[in-house]
């Protein structure tokens, strides 16, 4: 949705690798079909790309397949804007608590 305009943005997704196959270098990519809205009589092109890369990471004594990088690019009119997030330093956290209620006298 752009302002109050609804439009179809994405029709396909590309995934590298086999689901459940835990090998470093997996990635998820999605890219929109070309789209546009009209503003003040002018056609404004829109689009986006998303890529998430996964790799195994040790947390505690176990290995997990986790995101390492997420990058999104968005097109509005003639400008591409890119946002990139790097995930790192995964850690294991533990917490223990005990809750006791006063049951009162019988």
Q: How many domains does the chain have?
A: 1
**Structure tokens belonging to residue 45:** 């092109």
User: Residues 36, 46: contact at Cβ < 8 Å?
Assistant: yes
- Which has the higher per-residue pLDDT, 67 or 25? 67
CA distance 68 to 11: 25
Determine, yes or no, domain membership for 91: no
Mean pLDDT of the chain: 80
Domain that holds residue 81: 12-18+26-86
31-67, pLDDT tens digit by residue?
887 788 888 888 888 888 888 888 888 898 898 888 9
Determine, yes or no, domain membership for 43: yes
**Structure tokens belonging to residue 24:** 């470093």
């Amino acid at each position: 949705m752009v302002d109050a305009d609804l439009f179809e943005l994405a029709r396909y997704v590309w995934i590298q690798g086999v689901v459940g196959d835990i090998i470093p270098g997996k990635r998820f990519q999605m890219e929109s079909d070309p789209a546009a809205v009209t503003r003040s009589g002018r056609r404004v092109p829109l689009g986006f790309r998303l890529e998430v890369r996964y790799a195994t990471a040790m947390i505690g004594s176990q290995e997990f397949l986790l995101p390492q990088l997420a990058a999104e690019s968005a097109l509005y009119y003639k400008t591409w804007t890119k946002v990139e997030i790097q995930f790192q330093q995964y850690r294991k956290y533990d917490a223990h608590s005990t809750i006791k209620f006063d049951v009162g006298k019988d």
